[in-house]
Each structure stands twice: as C-alpha cells, then as structure tokens.
Amino acid sequence: EHIRLEFEACKDDSLGLLYIDMDDFKLYNQLYGFVEGDKALRLVAEIIKQSVGDSGMVFRYSGKVFAALLPHYDGRQAEMLAREIKKRVNALNASPERKKFKPITFSCGICVSPYSASTYKELIDHADLAVYSAKESGKDRIILFKGSSASFKKASERALSIVENTSNLSAAYQANMTVISALTSAIDAKDHYTYRHSRNVALYSAILATAAGFNEDQIRLIYEAGILHDIGKISIPESILGKTGKLTDEEYKTIKSHVNNAIEMIRHLPSMDYVIPAAVGHHERWDGGGYPLGIAGEDIPVTARCLAIADAFDAMTTDRPYHRAMSFESAAAQIEVGAGKQFDPTLAGIFVRLVREGELACVAVKQ
C-alpha cells in the first residue's frame, strides 16, 4: 500500500524502490539464535533509516527484507545510496564487538520508475527480480533493474537461440548433447507422452530462466535437466504410466521412485552429474511438502524451482487418460494460486507473465 500511494504521488516524477534482502539469515539465526538475529536486523534497519534520512521512506517489507521508497531519485542516485548503506554495514562488521559474529551482508535490488516500470506493480516486480538476480549472482551485491516489461516479450527467442546454438561450445558439451539425444530417443520409444512432456518442460524452463536473468550456462543446464528430469520413468511399468483410473498407494510409490531412478541413471553418465540437483528437486515444494527430500524455499536449487513450475504447467495443459487439458490461462491461474506454497513466488510471477504474453504457446511441442 505504501508503494502504491507513493507511486501515485510521484506519477509526474521518478520514484526509486530499494529492496534490501539479508543474505543467509536463516543460517545467522541458527548460529546465534533469534535474539541475536533480531538485534542484527535492528542494527541494519537503523543504518538504512540514517542513510535515507528525510529523502524517503523505510519500512520492513517481510521478515528479512527492508524496502526504501525514494521519491525524485534516478538510478544513479539510488545505486549511490545502496552503496552507502553497504559501506556502513561493512563498517558495522568491522567493529570490535562484532568480531565473534558472521559478517552481515545483503543483496539489494533497485528499480526506478518511470524508466524501468510503468505501474506500481511493475516497480515491485522488477525490484523483486533485481534482488533475485543479486542472490543468484553470488549475493552481497547491488543490482539495478535496467529492463522493462518488453524484455519479457523476446525471452522465448533468446532462450531458443541459447539452447540451439551449440556450434561454438566445447567438445565435452557436444558429447553431452549426443548422450542427451540418445536418452531422449529411449524415452520416446518407451512413452511418447514423457518425451513430449520433457521437451516442453525443458523449453518452458529455459524461457523462464532467460526472463529471470540467468546466464547462458545456467539456461543450458536447466534445459538439459528438463530433458532428463523424467528419464527415470523408463523403469516404470507402462501399465502404471498409462493408467486411466486413480493410482493405488503402491502404484503412486512406484511413480515417485522415478526421481531416484533418474539420479541413478544420470550419475553413471560421464560429465552429466551436474544436472542432478535440478532433476532431483523438481517435485519439491516451496512450503516443504514435496519429495524426495522435503526441502523448502531457497534450500531447493533454483534450477529445480524452474523445472517444478514448468513441469506442473505442462502436466495441466496436456490431455492425459485421467484428465482433460486445461487452457494456458487456467493453468497460469493455478500457478498463481500455488505461488509461495508449491512454487517459488518470484519465479511463479515471472512465469505467469510469460504465459499471458504468449511466450510459451509459440514453442510448445504438440501432442
């Protein structure tokens, strides 16, 4: 509400939004306890408030995230302020009384309207995306969002260019692609649905990763993991894969075993074990209710979080013996419902936007 009101007040001027997200704060609480964690948050909050002064508004956005609204700021000024906050936090870490504690660091995402956002919702989304990029780029850094909503419109083209253009890559990568090609042929021979599904999950995940600002190596890894994420279904009986009725408990247990089966297959392949974290985690849930490990939130590899969204979306939009396909819009609405529960909320938001801008319909492999 603060952001909406300030955006409306600054409709004829610029408005900067800083998100300051504490790095590894779950670990900090585990190391020193919640009392010390709260003290650290209060110290950082005071630094932010002193740095912003009367030039903006500071508030707690969520548990470990602070926000600063900066009327009349441009991108350069907002970055300078973020660097000043980081400088003061570094000085806090260097103080004698803090020597026994892990250094406090934060990832900062910045968006400034009207340059990079035309609505208050875009201002929020793009600042979120900048924080996400800072986290995935190694944390303890400041990222200024420089794109616009238009940058999403060509994500599919960029993703396809990255995953299809392999001519300049290493011989090892080329060898891996040969192995992947052989495995996809094996999947197709066993179950054409799983083959088509794996292709779509790979493409959707690569497009999502591209829109989220991942680098080319990460995008290729996610694409490869998408292709291989269901390879373990080769060992599942066709009578279970194609069953029209409800699975028994034992049959469902057999289906769930495809994750561990995939791990066993991939780990024996030369130079392919790097896709295992993505493949093993695509049935984990943001709230911790998934399988096989039951991990939650950012403990789930980001590559697996991309696959989880793409996997669920393609399953919903495909005719199967036990359900009719949903429309893309209906499935996107279900992804929205699951954001923050089943799915990474930031990635889910990006994915839904891509669906509604037609980015996925143009690449989907038909049945």
Tens digits of residue pLDDT in 43-58: 999 999 999 999 999 9
Average pLDDT over residues 68-84: 95
pLDDT at residue 150, as a whole number: 38
Q: Confidence class of residue 317 from pLDDT cuts 50, 70 and 90?
A: very high
More confident residue, 243 or 334: 334
Once rounded to an integer, what is the mean pLDDT over residues 337-362?
A: 92
Higher pLDDT, 153 or 243: 243
What per-residue confidence (pLDDT) applies to 235? 67
- pLDDT above 60: residue 272: yes
- Is 148 a residue whose pLDDT tops 50? no
Nearest CA-CA partner of 231 in 262, 257, 195:
262
Domains of the chain, each with CATH number or no CATH: 2-147 (3.30.70.270), 152-356 (1.10.3210.10)
| Cα torsion 229, 367, 213, 181: sign | positive
For residues 245-262, give the mean pLDDT: 73
Mean pLDDT of all residues in the chain?
84
In 3D space, the residue among 347, 97, 65, 73 whose CA is nearest the CA of residue 222 turns out to be 347
Given pLDDT bands bounded at 50, 70 and 90, which one contains residue 188? low
What is the rounded distance in angstroms from the CA atom of residue 288 to the CA atom of residue 107?
A: 24
Q: At 17, give phi and psi (nearest 5°).
A: -125, 120
What mean pLDDT is predicted for residues 112-121?
Answer: 86
Residue of higher predicted confidence among 319 and 55? 55
Which pLDDT score, from 0 to 100, does residue 50 have?
97
pLDDT, residue 117, reads: 83
Q: Is the pLDDT of residue 365 over 50?
A: yes
Q: How confident is the model at residue 149 (pLDDT cuts 50, 70, 90)?
A: very low
Q: How confident is the model at residue 146 (pLDDT cuts 50, 70, 90)?
A: confident
178's tokens: 């040969």
Q: What is the mean pLDDT of residues 281-289?
A: 92
Whether the per-residue pLDDT at 251 is higher than 90: the answer is no
Q: State yes or no: pLDDT of 140 exceeds 70.
A: yes
User: Residues of the chain with pLDDT > 70: what percent?
Assistant: 83
Residue 27: pLDDT above 80?
Answer: yes
109-123, 130-144, 298-312 — which one is most confidently predicted on average? Answer: 298-312
Give the pLDDT of residue 298. 84
pLDDT band for 319, please (50, 70, 90 cuts).
Answer: confident
Highest average pLDDT, of 25-34, 82-91, 181-190, comes from 82-91
Q: In whole angstroms, what is the distance from residue 80 CA to residue 293 CA? A: 42
